[in-house]
Structure 1
C-alpha cells in the first residue's frame, strides 16, 4: 500500500490522487488503465466485494470498500463510474460525508447526463464535471481501449486542465463541449455504436433468410464492414456510398424488398435506410432526378404500409 501520495509529473502537470466509485465495466478498466500510466489510485469503492478484492489484489490502493466513510478517504480527483440512475444518490451520499470536500474534483462518466447533476457537490466546495469516453466498454475491455479515442469534457472550467491531462495520460484526446453539444454527441454515439450492432445483426439475419447459417453470414460480411469503415476514415461519407440506390438500380431494390417480405421488420428497416441513402445521394448529386423519384415512391410504399 502507498502511504503519502506520490507526485508524478507529465507535461509539467502533477497527476492528482484518484478515487473511483463504481467498479463496473468502465470503472474497473479505468482503474487498471490509470495505474498502468503512473497514476496513484488512492481509493476504490463498490458494492461488489469480489471486484474490490480482485482490484486491490492486483493494484496498489490505499483505501477500498463499499463506500467512503469520510471525505478523507477520497482522492483529489473522484470518478463516479456508476449507472446514470445512481449518480444523484451517490452525490447526495458524498455530500453527507464527514469532512471537507473543498478542493476536490468530482467527475461522472455518463454520456447522457450533464455535469449539472453534480452541482450539489459544487455547493460544498468541489469542482464538478463530466468526462465521457467515446468508446464502448464491456467486461472484456482492456486499458488499450482508451487509446486514440475522444473524451467529451463538460463542466467547471477549473476542472478542464486536469481532465485534459487525464485524457492524454490514457492515450486519448479531449473534446470540450457545452451541455447542449454533449446531449447531441451522446445521441450520435448511441447511433454509431449501439445501433450499429443492431443494424449488423439485422444484416446477418437478412442474409440467413436464404438458408445460410447466421454465423457464416456474419463471417462473410465482416470484411465488407471493415472496408466500409476504412473508406469512411479516408474519404467523405458521400465518397463512401455505393450499392444499388446510388446506381439508381430500381429493380435490385425491388428484389430486396420482395425477399425481405418474409420479415416485415427487416423490410421496413431496409426501406428506412434506403430512403436516407436516397436523400444523401441526391444531396451529393449522385442520382438522376428520375431515379430519385422512382426510389422514393418504391420505398415510401413500404414505409406507409401501402
Structure 2
C-alpha cells in the first residue's frame, strides 16, 4: 500500500515534490495545509491531488509529513503539528531545508516520530519546470535510518540522486551551495561593473562573458578546478595581477579587497596543480 503524505507549507518546493510523487505514485497525498484556504486550493490544483486545509485541527493522521515552510517557520510548524496529537512512533516527519539539520524537528522527535532532512540541490523558482526535469537532481540527506529508508525510495522514484551528509556539519554543505550559486551571481555582477569602467554596456558585457563563463564551468566539471585554472596567476604573471588589483581598488575599494582575496586563493589553487607530464 502507498504511504500517505501530508504537506505543511506547500509553496514552490512542496507543490513540485507533491506533483512528482503523485505522478509516480510514490505517496498518496492526503492533506495540504497552507496559511490560507485559497493558497491551499491553488497548491492542490497544481498537484492534482490532496485535500486543501488551512488549520492544524483539520489534519488527519498520515504516515509521512513534509514540512516545506520557509526555514524560519519549520520549528514552529513542527511544534504545531506535534500539538495535534497525530504523531506516533510510526510517523515520519521531514523537511527540505539545506541549512537546518533534522534535529530541528525536536517536537516530532519528542513524540517518537522518525525525522529526516532531504535537500534537493536546485532552484525551485519555476515549479512547472522542476516537475519536467527533476530526474537527476542531487539531494543531500541525513536523519533517522527508518525515515531515510522510506524517503530514499520516494525520492529515487522521481529520479533523485541521494548523497548522505554529516548532520553536525550541514551548515558547510549549504554554504557550498551558496558559493556555487548565489555568490557566483554576485561575482559576475562585479565583473559586469568592471567591464562598465571600460565603457562596455551591461547587456553587452553579459553577452561577452557568456561563452567565457560557460567554457570555464565546463572545464571545471570536466577536468577539476586545478586543471581548469588559467589566467595571469596560473602562469605566474604576478605583475599583471597586481596591476589589476591596484586599478580595481582605486575604482572600488570593496571590489579591490575581493580581488586581493581571490588573488591569494587562486595562488593557493595554482600551487596544488600537478606539473605537466614530460
TM-score, structure 1 normalization: 0.81
* Contact 1:71 1:100 survives alignment (8 Å): no
Deviations 1:278-298 (A, max 9, x none): 011123256xxxxxxxxxxxx
State how 1:104-183 maps to structure 2 within 5 Å: 104-139=91-126, 142-144=130-132, 146-183=134-171
Equivalent of 2:254, from 233, 241, 265?
265
Aligned counterparts of 2:109 and 2:58: Cα–Cα separation in 1: 17
Aligned counterparts of 1:21 and 1:192: Cα–Cα separation in 2: 29
* Contact 2:227 2:273 survives alignment (8 Å): no
Task: Provide the aligned C-alpha RMSD in A.
Answer: 2.1
What residue in structure 2 maps to residue 26 of structure 1?
13
Unaligned runs of 5+ in 1: 1-6, 8-14, 287-306
Change in CA separation of 1:203 and 1:133 when aligned onto 2, cut-off 3 Å: same
Q: How far 1:159 sits from its partner (Å)?
A: 0.9
Corresponding position: 1:17 with 2:4? yes
Deviations 1:53-108 (A, max 9, x none): 22323433332122332552x43221111122111111111111144544221001
Equivalent of 1:86, from 73, 87, 107?
73
SS for the counterpart of 1:244 is coil
> Does 107-116 or 260-269 show the bigger shift?
260-269
Change in CA separation of 1:256 and 1:93 when aligned onto 2, cut-off 3 Å: same
* Contact 1:154 1:182 survives alignment (8 Å): no
Aligned counterparts of 2:134 and 2:46: Cα–Cα separation in 1: 20
Matched positions, count: 272
Equivalent of 1:280, from 263, 269, 272?
269
Unaligned runs of 5+ in 2: none
* Contact 1:21 1:67 survives alignment (8 Å): no
Q: How far 1:35 sits from its partner (Å)?
A: 2.3
Q: How far 1:49 sits from its partner (Å)?
A: 4.0
TM-score, structure 2 normalization: 0.89
Aligned counterparts of 1:25 and 1:207: Cα–Cα separation in 2: 36
Change in CA separation of 1:89 and 1:242 when aligned onto 2, cut-off 3 Å: same
